[in-house]
Amino acid sequence: MKILSETNIQLLMEKMSFVCKKSNNEDADLSKFVAYINFLVDRKDEIIKIINVELEDVAYSHYYWFWALKEVYFKKHGKDEGLEQQALKILETMNFELQGNIDWEIIEQIENGCIEVQ
């Protein structure tokens, strides 16, 4: 399993001519994370084919970048229960996509900021 790095995501977004139209956020850091998240969700199947990664790589990358967005948002604006609920919804979706095979150790590493990004 690997987490897609910011550089890899940006290169893929350019290669696929992906433009995020779902963020109206004026904060550049948050807008960047929203773009990464939307890209990973909207282009999941293409990403898997183009760079030969597994579904789990994209799923964990999605959670990683959402967690990064959440952490930055909390530091700038304070806690937001809606983002907490969204994190749970992402985990539910991952559980379905990965057929109940979520590696909770990886989730814990992401949440503790202890995971290597490739």
How do residues 62-113 score in pLDDT, each as one tens digit? 999 999 999 999 999 999 999 999 999 999 999 999 999 999 999 999 999 9
Contact 58, 47 (CB under 8 A): yes
- Residue 42: alpha-carbon gap to chain centroid: 11
Contact criterion met (CB below 8 Å) for 115 and 106: yes
Reported as a single tens digit per residue, the pLDDT across 42-76 is 999 999 999 989 999 999 999 999 999 999 999 99
Question: What tokens appear for 17 in the block?
Answer: 């001519």
CA triple 61-38-111, angle to 5 deg: 35
Alpha-carbon distance of 69 to 64, in angstroms, equals 9
Residues 6+ apart with CB under 8 A from 83: 69, 70, 73, 74
Residue 5 carries which DSSP code?
P
The pTM of the full predicted model, rounded to 2 decimals, is 0.91
